[in-house]
């Protein structure tokens, strides 16, 4: 299965539960990075962060058969990381996303903001 198909299904999972500010960071031209892409998004609450996580997991599994290699952050749901090896998904509540500024940390990455349907 291709990385593009995985990203498409991750984004669909985010959009299915109205995740916000979806940003794809292409890390392929950066040296010594463990994955090819980050997909970053936000939820309005810990409940929505959990819903986004579940929706991504369901959408990706149903359409590709893939399961995340690792998930962490579900204990407080302020920042959930889903590791699909080539693609790592960061699901933040808005306050935590503003605090960590992950897009600024990886500003040398090619960034693609996904147009919101909402």
**pTM summary value:** 0.95
Q: Domain boundaries in the chain? A: 3-113
Alpha-helical runs (H) found in 17-69 = 46-64
pLDDT at 2: 85
98 Cβ contact partners less than 8 Å away, ≥ 6 residues apart: none
Task: With CA atoms as reference, report the closest residue to 72 among 85, 58, 97, 91.
Answer: 91
Q: pLDDT tens for residues 6-63? A: 999 999 999 999 999 999 999 999 999 999 999 999 999 999 999 999 999 999 999 9
C-alpha Rg value of the chain to the nearest Å: 13
Please state the φ and ψ torsions of residue 17, each to the nearest 5 degrees. -120, 25
- The fourth-level CATH superfamily of domain 3-113 is Beta Polymerase, domain 2 (3.30.460.10)
Cβ contact 25:40 at 8 Å: yes
- pLDDT bin (cut points 50, 70, 90) of residue 117 is low
Could you say which DSSP state residue 114 is in?
Answer: P
Please return the burial class of 60, using the count of CB atoms within 10 Å of its CB with bins 0-12, 13-18 and 19+.
buried
């Amino acid at each position: 299965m291709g990385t593009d198909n995985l990203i498409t299904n991750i984004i669909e999972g985010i959009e299915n539960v109205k995740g916000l500010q979806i940003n794809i960071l292409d890390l392929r031209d950066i040296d010594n990075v463990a994955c090819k892409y980050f997909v970053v998004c936000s939820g309005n609450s810990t409940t929505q962060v959990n819903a986004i996580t579940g929706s991504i997991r369901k959408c990706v599994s149903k359409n590709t058969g893939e399961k995340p290699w690792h998930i962490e952050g579900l204990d407080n749901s302020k920042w959930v990381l889903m590791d699909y090896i080539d693609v790592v998904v960061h699901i933040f509540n808005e306050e935590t996303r503003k605090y960590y500024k992950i897009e600024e940390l990886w500003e040398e990455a090619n960034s693609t903001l996904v147009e919101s349907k909402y």
